[in-house]
Amino acid sequence: MGLTYQRILLKLSGEALMGDLAYGIDPEVVRSIAQEITEIVAEGVEVAIVVGGGNIFRGVKGAASGMDRATADYIGMIATVMNAMTLQDALERNDVQTRVLTAIEMQEVAEPYIRRRAIRHLEKGRVVIFGAGSGNPFFTTDTTAALRAAEINAEVVFKATKVDGVYDADPKLNPEARRFQSLTYSYVLTHDLRVMDTTAIALCKDNNIPIIVFNLSVSGNIRRAVMGESIGTIVGGSCEII
């Protein structure tokens, strides 16, 4: 089976890097993710990544505790850079050239985000990791993923999560919950399914970028998604339920 997608935007939550830990980064999980990315890069896939920071600091929670929201969000952005650098290190240990580009300048540790530079890195076969979100408070890393995907002309957004798709009910609470195979953007928005935040969904809808939601913890799922196998749920098609 050949490649279905040539240039992808992979959205990783900060929690995805925790594994079973209560806080921080599990090196084994990072190594596993890096290995899967290494395999698809070797097949010629151009990979851009947006990583969250919730395993270290989440701006919304900081604001809920009384912190100024903008300040809390900036701290969260810095947390994403820590995760980006950790993932960069794991990829480069696999001899994959990787560049971290940040929306907040940190020139001693990463390059500033410049759209044309990011695209050039991808064309040269380098993995690009976008850190510091969009550089603006009040916007999530989901929105950053949709924005960067549109900017670099990515063909798809892969939303790697801890569940195997989008359900019509919470599968933890309802054992009869059914998984959607595909969904329209409008259905996600009108039914508030929380696949990604509404701004991210709207951006993908406006730019006709499909979103594929799948379980990151299943080994080989990133490659299966790149190859076009039917895993998880695709947002951007018709509404079909399994």
pTM: 0.94
Residue 129 three-state SS = strand
Q: Which residues are annotated as a binding site?
A: 11-14, 53-54, 58, 73, 134-141, 161, 167, 170
Share of the chain above pLDDT 90, in %: 81
What pLDDT, on the 0 to 100 scale, is given for residue 219? 92
State how far the Cα of 65 lies from the Cα of 22, in Å rounded to an integer. Answer: 19
Lookup result for tokens 């801890």: 162
Domains and CATH numbers, the chain: 7-241 (3.40.1160.10)
For residues 1 and 227, the answer to whether their CB atoms sit within 8 Å is yes
For residue 163 the two structure tokens come to: 């569940």
Q: Which residues are annotated as a binding site for UMP?
A: 53, 73, 134-141
Cβ atoms within 10 Å, residue 216: 22
What pLDDT, on the 0 to 100 scale, is given for residue 13? 93
What pLDDT, on the 0 to 100 scale, is given for residue 242? 63
| Beta carbons within 8 Å of 20's beta carbon, 6+ residues apart | 26
What pLDDT, on the 0 to 100 scale, is given for residue 214? 95
Q: Give the 3-state DSSP-derived string for the chain, with helices as H, strands as E and coil as C.
A: CCCCCCEEEEEECHHHHCCCCCCCCCHHHHHHHHHHHHHHHHCCCEEEEEECCCCCCCHHHHHHCCCCHHHHHHHHHHHHHHHHHHHHHHHHHCCCCEEEEECCCCCCCCEECCHHHHHHHHHCCCEEEEECCCCCCCCCHHHHHHHHHHHCCCCEEEEEECCCCEECCCCCCCCCCCEEEEECHHHHHHCCCCCCCHHHHHHHHHCCCCEEEEECCCCCHHHHHHCCCCCCEEECCCCEEC
Q: Which residues are annotated as a binding site for ATP?
A: 11-14, 54, 58, 161, 167, 170
What pLDDT, on the 0 to 100 scale, is given for residue 175? 84
What pLDDT, on the 0 to 100 scale, is given for residue 143? 97
Distances (CA, A) of 221 to 39, 155, 195, 217: 12, 18, 18, 8
Going residue by residue through the chain, which has 242 residues, state the pLDDT in tens, using 9 for 90 and above.
578 999 999 999 999 999 889 999 999 999 999 999 999 999 999 999 999 999 999 887 888 888 999 999 999 999 999 999 999 999 999 999 999 999 999 999 999 999 999 999 999 999 999 999 999 999 999 999 999 999 999 999 999 988 889 998 888 888 888 899 999 999 999 988 888 999 999 999 999 999 999 999 899 999 999 999 989 999 997 777 76
Interval 130-161: pLDDT, tens:
999 999 999 999 999 999 999 999 999 999 98
For residues 56 and 15, the answer to whether their CB atoms sit within 8 Å is no
